Structure 1
Amino acid sequence: MKYVVWVACIAMFARPQPIIRRINNNDFEEDGGSITVYVNGACSKNGQADAQGGFGVFWGENHPLNTSEPVRGRATNNRGEIQGAIRAITQALDNGIPRLTIYTDSQYLINCMKVWISGWKQNNWIRSTGDPVRNQENLQELDNLQSRLQLVEWIHVKAKNGNHGNDEANRLAKAGAAMYQPPAPAQEVEPADLQHLDQTSTDDFDF
């Protein structure tokens, strides 16, 4: 009797096995009809001239689409977060994935895509302060890619909280940052994207 109860308790608290869906000869984790992916950005010395930035995309253990790359252009953490999402959606489109759930620990990215972007577009990409929106080019690219999928759901996860997918995306992002090559001297290095610091989790600025 005790053995039966013990087994039942283990089954109750065991992590449910993810649903695996095979698309384009690759296996993807599915939740509620949507494929899941984790993205992350990393930037050492964020906001400094010698900053190094990268992004990571994690689809699953040893997945062929897992990505670790340096940031394109100036290196900031926020740019890494955006470019990670760009890569994830591009990969989804290339592999015939119609519905995507993106997990990120960046409140900045979540707010950009769920709160601020509609107002920015209506205001011709000018903030309420009268300043142009930072990362406009990357955000416009991300918005355009998002519109080509049936659904993109953005879900925030807490950083450094034992979430395996997020930890793996962070590891990939750090590896990408280590590969970063600074832009040519003629290209202006702008300060870190701190325009929404009062509305953004400090996790967004962690390496």
Structure 2
Amino acid sequence: MKEVTIYTDGACSGNPGPGGWGAVLIYGDVTKEISGGEKVTTNNKMELTAAIEALKLLKEPCKVKLYSDSAYMINCFKDKWYIGWERNGWVNSKKELVANKELWQELLRLCRLHEVEWIKVKGHAGDYWNERCDELARAASPK
């Protein structure tokens, strides 16, 4: 399997408010930057969208190291929250409907095509690619 490194980030002015997402995919010597935005969204939606859009670009099953500063997304996979959500009809431990269900379902579908290792990075702490994704996300956010 090809090994790909992905960095992702989401940004939002207000929550909800205008927001953007950014991702950087690295394969060997090739680096690809992608981004997008929405007029009314949330930070969590942008974080999930960044990972979804990056994984959608992979044309075959890959080993992926996905770096994000989103505890929301990383903890879901590290702690396997999604197993309970699926088993319980997309209801969380507080007996509430899981927020962003459709995005989570799409992200899970994509993750099941690849071997994804989820890696938490500290946001705004000098990690070059995390900072670059933040720049992409902010630039893509509608003003």
Q: Answer 1 or 2: which has greater strand percent.
A: 2
Superimposed CA distance per residue, residues 161-188 of structure 1 (whole angstroms, 9 cap, x where no aligned partner): 1100000011011112136xxxxxxxxx
Equivalent residues in 2 for 1:17-56 (5 A)? Answer: 34-47=3-16, 51-56=17-22
Superimposed CA distance per residue, residues 89-127 of structure 1 (whole angstroms, 9 cap, x where no aligned partner): 1112x2x35111100001111112232111111111001
Displacement over 3 Å in runs of 4+? 60-63
Residue 74 of structure 1 deviates from its aligned partner by 4.4
Structure possessing the higher radius of gyration over alpha carbons: 1
AA aligned to 2:3 is S
User: RMSD of the alignment, in Å?
Assistant: 2.0
Which residue in 2 is equivalent to 1:132? 97
Q: Does 1:110 align with 2:77?
A: no
Which residue in 2 is equivalent to 1:59? 25
Return the TM-score normalized by structure 2.
0.88
Residue 138 of structure 1 deviates from its aligned partner by 0.3
Decide whether the 8 Å contact of 1:42 with 1:54 is kept in 2: yes
Decide whether the 8 Å contact of 2:4 with 2:25 is kept in 1: no
Equivalent residues in 2 for 1:84-95 (5 A)? Answer: 84-92=50-58, 94=59
Which residue in 2 is equivalent to 1:184? none
Return the TM-score normalized by structure 1.
0.62
CA gap 1:74/1:135 in 2 versus in 1, 3 angstroms: farther
CA gap 1:173/1:157 in 2 versus in 1, 3 angstroms: same
Decide whether the 8 Å contact of 1:55 with 1:70 is kept in 2: yes
AA aligned to 2:12 is C
1:77 to 27, 40, 43: 43
Equivalent residues, number: 139
Please, which runs of 5 or more residues in structure 1 have no aligned partner? 1-32, 180-207
Please, which runs of 5 or more residues in structure 2 have no aligned partner? none
Decide whether the 8 Å contact of 1:35 with 1:97 is kept in 2: no
Decide whether the 8 Å contact of 1:101 with 1:154 is kept in 2: yes
